[in-house]
Amino acid sequence: MKRDFVALDTFPKILKNNAEIYKGRPSIREKEYGIWQTTTWDAFYNRALLLAEGFYDSGLRRGDKIAIIGDNRPNLYLSIASAQILGAIPVPCYQDSVASEIEYILEHAEAKLAIVENQEQVDKLLEIKEKLPLLKNIFYDDPRGLEKYDVKEICSLDVILDKNREMNIDLDKEINKTSKDDISIMLYTSGTTGRPKGVLLSYNNIVSVTSIACEIEKTGPDDEVVAYLPMAWVGDNIFCVAQSYISGFCINCPESRDTLTLDMREIGPTYYFAPPRVWEGMHTQLMVRMQDASKVKLWAFNFFMKVAKKWGNPILDKKNVPILARLLYGLGYFLIYGPLKNNLGLTRVRMAYTAGEAMGPDTFLFYRSLGINLKVLYGQTEATVFVSLHRDGDVDPNTVGPAFPGVDIKVTDGEVFYKGSGVFKGYYKNEDATKETIDKEGWVKTGDAGVIDNNGHLKIIDRAKDVGKLNSGNMFAPKYIENKLKFCGIIKEAVAFGDNKDFVTCFVNIDLDAVASWAERNNVAYSGYIDLAGQSSVYDLIAMEIDKVNRDLSQDTELNDSQIKRFLILHKELDADDGELTRTNKVRRGLISERYCMLVDAFYNNKNNCFIETEVTFEDGRKGSISADLKIKDMNIYDLKDQVA
């Protein structure tokens, strides 16, 4: 159904309209007590009015902030809708945050009410309640364990929803008062650098961007989406909430985090979003399980996966494919791809996205070859998600796609800038940071280094601050190289060096599981990680993978100089307990190059081995040391001319 989003320019107005045109159709579903329970658009709207009334009675007024903390639950989505009806600003927080993190956000946002999922969150808030004088009431969704709490500020949402009260406020009027320049939602960025910042997004930002996205993918009221990503993340607000408002489709809330896969299979979403690690996890699990299958099945799987690899993508891209190949692919679909997709709960998926990190092209193409229309998008909270996006028929696993309609992208000094209708209104109470991020002409700084390729696709290389220069003057982007290495599966972690150097070198951590299984199959005896990592056959194995990466890099004019000339396999795994990785498993570059400076020096002093002793922290906190004599291996470097035939 086509609607004009000029008059319907805010979510409360759209919701009211949805209650009329999608009357009786599902708007949100939740699995509870083993049964999917559906709320229709009209029921959702009526409940939202009821709750808005309750919030008003609790003192929530236009412009006030209301914190939302919990897993994806219908009542939390409802609370967002109700707050918006009143012109208040919802502030969703990450449900895993510890009390002190929540305290910072609630204090900074000056939240007046908090709507939380359960006892766990109530306990967190009660812990910090005294430091938050502005926080008046806490409403909870799940009453379990909370009956005996004797705190007057806490109250169940059901109490408000069940109450028959006189209307103290004309909500229709309130809905009409909302305008497209009002702030729709405030989202705190996760804060990998410094304190989290509150990103203000207006209705205009979200409605304009989302309606374009819905247009591109032709989403409609029959689509289904499973809401499982954190509500505090911008993606959940766009892919689930905003798109559901605009297209009228149904949001499905899984029963619990543990049941997600089962719930996915039951719902069969048509629209699925997952970060690369989820896709990669599914792929690895599948491959491991296939190893246990009977010979006939394994043979059929391997045979048809080859077929899919060759023809799956062209078929998905609607290219010309010989009729016999089509028939073979069809047979494969019947025997392998279909059942496989069913097992993953992806049978009905019409559009699938990934974003956030680089994804291995092999994994990416694996899903596409099964007929799953997986695409990459690149975005930021500050852009209301969309900066660039793959389009049907124009998908390249190495890029993040061409600019999103209405968004301009430019690359200045290697850094990506964009502007468009989705650009946020500013950081809450942080003028300086806003000015630093948006320049006078409206260009927003992403902090990412990238290039635009010949097809107009944006290619993200690294965080801009990590990008350095080789002595030859060419760009050095460590993460880009490391990601390329990590895609092969036997390299778990890699750290590349090259800034202000003549050539690129790298440390490698082998993936113990993968290499151990290789060692078993090839009769390589070893006693443990250190022993395995030092074996020359393992060095050869890794060298083969690095050689592939070097060949790949040699074809790129800009990155030709970034080929890896020397490498070594570290004697220990980089570990968050030793401070070498962050808790989210990102490499701490500075610390590693300091701790292992001996090894880095050995790289550039032409040594062929280096003795090192390192202190390690065991899981129980004890410390010990391990030492090893590490070999350094030299690699072939390819010229641009040597392109692989």
Partner 1 sequence: MSLKNQNLISKSEVIMNIKNINLSFGGLKALSGVSLQIKKGEILAIIGPNGAGKSSMLNVISGIYVPQEGVVEWKGKRRNKIAPHDIARMGIARTFQNIALFKGMSALENILTGRNILMKRNLFMEMLYMGLGRRQEEEHRKKAEEIIDFLEIQSIRKTPVARLPYGMQKRVELGRALALEPELLLLDEPMAGMNVEEKEDMCRFVLDVNEQFGTTIVLIEHDMGVVMDISDRVVVLDYGIKIADGTPDKVRSEKKVIDAYLGVG
List residues near partner 1 by CB under 8 A. Answer: 32-35, 144-145, 147-148, 255-256, 258-259, 262
Q: Which residues neighbour 430 within 8 Å (Cβ) at sequence distance 6 or greater? A: 197, 198
Nearer to partner 1, 35 or 645 (CB): 35
- C-beta closer to partner 1: residue 122 or 496: 122
Least separation, in Å, of the C-beta of 254 and partner 1?
9
Measured from the CB atom, the residue of 255 and 499 that comes closer to partner 1 is: 255
Considering the complex, state which of residue 148 and residue 521 has its C-beta at the smaller distance from partner 1. 148
Give me the least distance between CB of 34 and partner 1, in Å please: 5
Q: Which is nearer to partner 1, 145 or 442 (CB)?
A: 145
Nearest distance, CB of residue 264 and partner 1, angstroms:
13
The answer to whether 380 and 427 have CB atoms below 8 angstroms apart is no
Contacts of 514 (CB under 8 A, 6+ apart): 489, 490
Taking CB atoms within 8 Å and a gap of at least 24, the contacts of 104-109 are 104/195, 104/196, 105/67, 105/188, 105/196, 105/198, 106/67, 106/132, 106/135, 107/131, 107/132, 107/134, 108/198, 108/428, 108/429, 109/65, 109/67, 109/186, 109/188, 109/198, 109/428
> Biggest alpha carbon distance in the chain?
83
For 301, the 3-state DSSP assignment is: helix
Which helix (DSSP H) or strand (DSSP E) does residue 251 occupy? strand 250-253
Angle at Cα 323 formed by Cα 318 and Cα 324, nearest 5°? 125
Q: Which residue lies nearer to partner 1 by CB, 4 or 147?
A: 147
Question: Which two structure tokens, joined as six digits, stand for 182?
Answer: 């009002």
* Tokens 């009526």 found at: 46
Dist CA 448 CA 12 (whole Å)? 35
3-state secondary structure at position 340: helix
How big is the CA angle at 254 (ends 252 and 255), to the nearest 5 degrees?
135
CA dist 240 and 227 (Å) reads 6
Q: Which is nearer to partner 1, 256 or 523 (CB)?
A: 256
d(CA 252, CA 521): 44
C-alpha pair distances (Å), 626 with each of 73, 271, 573, 593: 48, 49, 12, 18
DSSP string, 378-389: EEEGGGTEEEEE
Report the residue number, 263 or 580, with the smaller CB distance to partner 1.
Answer: 263
Least separation, in Å, of the C-beta of 37 and partner 1?
Answer: 12
Question: What is d(CA 88, CA 58) in angstroms, rounded to the nearest whole number?
Answer: 13
Q: How far is the CB of 498 from partner 1 (least distance, A)?
A: 44
Nearer to partner 1, 36 or 604 (CB): 36
Nearer to partner 1, 148 or 173 (CB): 148
Nearest distance, CB of residue 398 and partner 1, angstroms = 37
- Could you tell me the CA-to-CA distances from 479 to 29, 462, 537, 553 in Å, in that order? 41, 6, 26, 13
Q: Amino acid letter at 475?
A: M
**Minimum distance, C-beta of residue 173 to partner 1, in the bound complex (Å):** 40
CA distance 230 to 186: 14
Please, what is the minimum distance in Å from the beta carbon of residue 256 to partner 1? 5
| Residue number, 147 or 619, with CB nearest to partner 1 | 147
Nearest distance from C-beta of residue 255 to partner 1, angstroms = 5
Whichever of 256 and 606 has its CB closer to partner 1, that residue is 256
User: Nearest distance from residue 298's CB to partner 1, in Å?
Assistant: 24
- Work out the burial of residue 643: count CB atoms within 10 Å of its CB; fewer than 13 is exposed, 13-18 middle, 19 or more buried: exposed
Task: For the CB of residue 74, give the shortest distance to partner 1 in the complex, in Å.
Answer: 16
Supply the minimum distance, in Å, between the C-beta of residue 150 and partner 1: 12
41 vs 28: CA distance, rounded Å: 8
